[in-house]
Amino acid sequence: MPHRISVMLDACPNDLGAVDRNKLAECIAACFQCAQACTACVDACLGEDMVADLTTCIRTCPNCADICAATGNAVSRQTGTNAGITRAVLEACRQCETACKELLAALA
C-alpha cells in the first residue's frame, strides 16, 4: 500500500516542506492497516466461544478503527495549517495503541 500512497503524494502539487515523503506514506498506510485490523479483530472475537468475555475488546476496537481511519484521512490531506488537529488526532491514536496493548496483556 505505501507504494500507491507515494504515487499520489508525488502527484500532489502541494509543497510538503520538510516532511519526509516515505515516512508520511508509511504513516498513512499504518493508519489504515490499524483500522482494518481493529475491524477484523471484532469479527474474530465474535466468532469465539468465549465471546461474553471479550466485550471490552469488541467495544474498544471500533473506537480504534474509527480514530485510525480519521487519522489516516487527516494525514492524507496535506493541511499544513492544522498542526493542532493533526497532533490531537495522532495523540488519540496513541491512546488507542495503549488500550490495545492493555487488552492484549489481559488476554495473555
- How many other β-carbons are positioned within 10 Å of the β-carbon of residue 70? 15
Q: How far apart are CA 50 and CA 21, in angstroms?
A: 44
User: Which of 20, 21, 22, 44 touches a second copy by CB under 8 A?
Assistant: 44
Q: How far apart are CA 95 and CA 108, in angstroms?
A: 20
Binding mask 57-86 for a second copy (x = CB under 8 A): -xxx-xxxxxx-xx-xxx-xxxx-xx-xx-
CB neighbour list of residue 8: distance below 8 Å, 6 or more residues apart: none
Q: CB 93 → a second copy: shortest distance, Å?
A: 8
Q: In 3D, which of 67, 58, 62, 44 has the Cα closest to residue 103?
A: 58
The residues binding a second copy (CB under 8 A) are 1, 4-5, 8-9, 11-14, 28-29, 32-33, 35-37, 39-44, 46-48, 51-52, 55-56, 58-60, 62-67, 69-70, 72-74, 76-79, 81-82, 84-85, 87-89, 91-92, 94-96, 98-99
